[in-house]
Structure 1
Amino acid sequence: MVLFTACNSQSTEEQIHNHLEEAVTLEEEFEKQQSEITDLELKEQEIYNQIIDLGMDDFETIKELSNQALEIIEQRKEKIGLEKDSIVSSKEEFNEIEALLDDIENQELKDITESMYEVMNNRYSAYEDLNGAYTESLKLEQELYELLQQEDLEQDRLTDQINSINKSYEQVLHSNEAFNNYTVEYNEFKKEFYETADIAVSFEE
């Protein structure tokens, strides 16, 4: 009973605050994987540049480099999976605030919180799109490095594959931009929520 009372003594705003900050904590793994994925992308780009500088006389070297690139793609797949798990956990925690929305008595604060809730869920949806586009790009890259291991590979087939990859990355960039825009918008609402609720929180600039 003591624990139950202690829990209930928190205001609705404080409970929302707890869910918001826990959602941030759950996204720390996402941030970590983002950095590591970028490093792997750069390594793979270096390998790709080496491959395109080679001629078919260097087929064995091309095969060896392609295998290295395929290993990096597997590592990227693994990290994308960890990244997604982090976002899913964050979403589950964040959505706990839905049940608290009707308990907010201050109408201005309620409007801000509802807008914040909507924007954050748009952000999660944008991540789903981003994750799908990135996963498709990885699949196409994997196919490219498998093609490069065929000695009788025709130039047209190679060109088509590279064009498909470039097109898929346009979708990745588009989805990433939407995700980033929602992130900025959410952070603005979150700051507004804390200021209106008079909850002291320091923000990183």
Structure 2
Amino acid sequence: MSIFSFKRIIFSVFAGMILLSGCINKEPAAEKMYQVLEDVVEAEREFEEQQKPLVSLEKQEKDIYNQIMALGMKQHDEIVKLSDEALSIIEKRRELLQKEIESINASKTEFKKAKEIKNEITISAQKKKAEELFMIMTDRYKVHSQLSKEYLMALDSDKDLYIMLKNESVSYDKLEEQVTKLNNTYQKVFEKNEEFNDYTAQYNEKKLEFYKEAGLNLKNDE
């Protein structure tokens, strides 16, 4: 039996603060849009901070699972001990995911302001970029919601597996069935993770295109 392993790499809109050092085109709506987009960066800072700890916990749990599989069911006391460690890690992962969700929700609240501001933009080229940016980010939020739901389902399936492993009389067939279910769930997580990363990359690129089109004079604060 093996658990599907995926590399969780989630890019955020946080990639170093971008400072507005001047505006070539004095379009007020463009400057207002800039402020909203940078507020979104700040709102997602907490999201960014959850990524490395989540990856670390996922690796720890995978290592524990491998240890259990190497032991065999005859060493039940050790399996129970390791399963309890894994269950504790699952709850820590759940807590970090909740912080991630809250950060994305805060980002979504900030980004709602962009809907009204983009309608104030009068220059057609800028408006087009702003519309594209808004559509991409809307899709990104939708995918993150789907990703979170799949990830929570994976955590529940993880939990069920370790509870089963603690049961000395559990059958191999039941364990195999649960692992198959878990692998299928993580495959969905992987796919949504990839989709989310793709939208994030598109968003970051489109944001810079909008800044350039709006004539914003920017510099990175590194």
Does TM-score exceed 0.5, indicating one fold?
yes
Distance in 1 separating the partners of 2:52 and 2:106: 19
Matched, 1:94 2:114: no
Distance in 1 separating the partners of 2:151 and 2:194: 13
Q: Tell me what 1:126 maps to.
A: 143
Using CA pairs below 8 Å that are at least 6 residues apart, which structure has the higher relative contact order? 2
**Which 5+ residue runs of structure 2 have no aligned equivalent?**
1-25
What is the 5 A alignment of 1:7-156? 11-156=28-173
Question: Could you tell me how far 1:202 is from its partner in structure 2?
Answer: 3.3
What amino acid is the match of 1:50?
Answer: Q
Q: Tell me what 1:192 maps to.
A: 209
Q: How many residues align?
A: 196
Matched, 1:167 2:180: no
Distance in 2 separating the partners of 1:197 and 1:10: 8
Between the two proteins, what is the percent identity of the paired residues?
36
Question: Could you tell me how far 1:55 is from its partner in structure 2?
Answer: 1.9
Distance in 2 separating the partners of 1:102 and 1:83: 30
Question: Could you tell me how far 1:10 is from its partner in structure 2?
Answer: 8.5
Question: Could you tell me how far 1:34 is from its partner in structure 2?
Answer: 1.2
Query: In structure 2, the residue corresponding to 1:129 is in which secondary structure?
Result: helix
Structure 2 length normalisation: TM-score?
A: 0.86
Question: Could you tell me how far 1:201 is from its partner in structure 2?
Answer: 2.2
What amino acid is the match of 1:193?
Answer: F
Distance in 2 separating the partners of 1:50 and 1:65: 8
Structure 1 length normalisation: TM-score?
A: 0.93
Query: In structure 1, the residue corresponding to 2:218 is in which secondary structure?
Result: coil
Runs of 4+ aligned structure 1 residues displaced above 3 Å come to none
Question: RMSD of aligned C-alpha atoms?
Answer: 1.4
Kindly indicate which of the two structures has a greater share of residues assigned to helix: 1
Deviations 1:117-163 (A, max 9, x none): 01001000010011011110000000000000101010000000000
Distance in 2 separating the partners of 1:152 and 1:29: 43
What amino acid is the match of 2:139?
Answer: N
Query: In structure 1, the residue corresponding to 2:71 is in which secondary structure?
Result: coil
Query: In structure 2, the residue corresponding to 1:200 is in which secondary structure?
Result: strand
Distance in 1 separating the partners of 2:27 and 2:132: 23
Q: Tell me what 1:181 maps to.
A: 198
Deviations 1:32-74 (A, max 9, x none): 1111100100111111110000122210000000000000000
Kindly indicate which of the two structures has a greater share of residues assigned to strand: 2
Distance in 2 separating the partners of 1:18 and 1:177: 28
